[in-house]
Amino acid sequence: MWVAAKLSYEPLLRVPFSSPNYVQLKVSTISTMNVRNFQSSIICSDSTNSTAVTSSSPPMTVNNAPPVLKKRKRYRKLYPGESTGITEEMRFVAMRLRNINGKKHSDDDNSSDVADNSNSLETSNGEDNGSEDETWQPSMEGLLKYLVDSKLIFTTVERIVDESTDVSYAYFRKNGLERSESLSKDLEWFGRQGFMIPDASSPGLSYAKYLEELAENNAPLFLCHLYIYIFSHLAGGQVIARKVSEKLLEGKELEFYRWEGDASEFLKGVREKLNMLSEHWTRDEKNRCLKEATKSFRFLGQIVRLIIL
């Protein structure tokens, strides 16, 4: 259509400019009818081309392929006690230690943490409930060694917490469960009774050195040791205090096992703070804490056994 239009007007374009009819031709070259025909030819040309393009395009096909299924996300299985906090995870570690030594424990047991840890401490001491009255025979010499080593550990832990610039340690200052001052009073009393106060023994020195190194390099691991040590003496320490008082001290209660206030509430505060901090630890750091819990019970058991050496 475009070619036809060009040829129809070509004679008009060849009229020389000097022709007297040039002006008349210029005015009347394209009449209204010709313009309409020209526009119609363009419209027809466009519609014809669009129809041809449309008819030449391939027909649309329906995709019958099966839908793509999203891969189901697999979630990691939680550790025992993980939903509660790191302190509960460590309690399960203590329960496993009891089971390894032949002690039975029910997961449905709703007893307090104090009772659980009392049994854990006895397990670390290698005692059996059935024959403990026959085999658990403390000596005054052993008791003094135990108190000296315990004072060394508590003094080390309290000093690290008070002097450290690590902000996480600040949460455990003045927690109400400090024991170094009470142990100093007990040792002074024994000294006035004429007993020779021994130097710290190898178990206490080794543990104190280990805690100092740990505090500088890994705060989460140190804080787990802090909690277990405080927790163990608050719980299992009551059992030890009762037995020692009956067998050696004629019923006297040591300052070591006296607290100014509700010790259970103090321990609850320490537990909540440690659980809060552990929310910012990686799973790898928490796993290392669980391994350290076993190591802490091992150190503690060595110090407790001093009583019966």
Q: What is the pLDDT along the chain (309 residues), one digit of tens a residue?
A: 444 444 444 444 444 544 455 444 444 444 444 545 544 444 444 444 444 444 455 555 556 777 777 776 677 777 777 888 999 999 888 888 766 554 444 443 333 333 344 444 344 333 444 445 556 788 999 999 999 999 999 999 999 999 999 999 999 999 999 999 999 999 999 999 999 999 999 999 999 999 999 999 999 999 999 999 998 888 887 788 888 888 899 888 899 988 889 999 999 999 999 999 999 999 999 999 999 999 999 999 999 999 986
* Greatest extent of the chain over all pairs of C-alpha atoms, in Å: 149
- b/e string for 253-291 if b means 16 or more Cβ within 10 A? ebbbbebeeebeebbeebbebbbebbeebeeebbebbbe
d(C-alpha 137, C-alpha 307), whole Å: 8
- Rounded to whole angstroms, the Cα distance separating 101 from 98 reads 5
Query: 223: closest CA among 278, 154, 294?
Result: 278
What token pair was written down for 87? 């302190």
Residue pair 228/296 in contact (Cβ under 8 Å)? The answer is yes
Handedness of CA 176, 178, 179, 182 (dihedral sign): negative
> What's the one-letter identity of residue 114?
V
Separation CA 213–CA 204 (nearest Å): 14
User: What pLDDT sits at residue 266?
Assistant: 94
Q: Which helix (H) or strand (E) holds 18?
A: none
| AA identity, residue 125 | N
What pLDDT does residue 146 have?
94
Distance CA 126, CA 132 (A): 10
CA proximity to 197, closest of 189, 187, 207 = 187
Radius of gyration of the chain (CA): 45
Nearest to 147 by CA among 94, 195, 78, 82: 195
Map tokens 């391939």 to a residue. Answer: 58
Judge if pTM exceeds 0.85. Answer: no
DSSP secondary structure code for residue 281 in this structure: S
The pLDDT value given to residue 116: 41
Give the pLDDT confidence score for residue 57 in this predicted structure.
Answer: 54
Q: Which two tokens stand for residue 84?
A: 């509660």
Pairwise CA distance, residues 235 & 60, whole Å: 78
Show the domains of the chain with their CATH numbers: 2-52 (no CATH), 86-308 (1.20.910.10)
If you search the block for the tokens 């104090």, which residue do you land on? 114
Q: What are phi and psi of 219, to 5 degrees?
A: -65, -45
Alpha carbon 205 to its chain centroid, in Å, reads 31
Cβ 286 vs Cβ 80: under 8 Å: no
Amino acid at 50: S
